[in-house]
Amino acid sequence: MTERVVDPDLKRAVWRWMERAVIGLIALGALTYGGDYGVYVARGKPQDSVNVDQMLAVPLKGNKTEFDYQGSAPQGCARALFPQGGEMPCWYLRRHKTQTQTF
């Protein structure tokens, strides 16, 4: 069997490319979040509310759980892509209308 030898320059170039890709993705995420926050503040921190169904999860014997319906209630949300102002984005709450609270 012949042994495969990897060129150290090629290996270093691949690592450098991977480092740049990771740094680029982190920078893109930070710019996206910062841009979302800038638009959120420029629009006057728009808030909205979404009616969500609230469930209470009660643990029972034998690793079982009982879910009790607690009713429907409006919950505040931020009109943004990411959570802003301590509230979840409205698009997320509209898709996840059932919220479970553990007892």
Domain range list for the chain? 8-102
- The pLDDT assigned to 1 comes to 62
pTM, two decimal places:
0.75
**Residue 80 contacts residue 36 (beta carbons within 8 Å):** yes
First to last CA, the chain: 63
Could you say which residues of the chain have pLDDT below 50? Answer: none
- The pLDDT assigned to 88 comes to 96
- The pLDDT assigned to 103 comes to 75
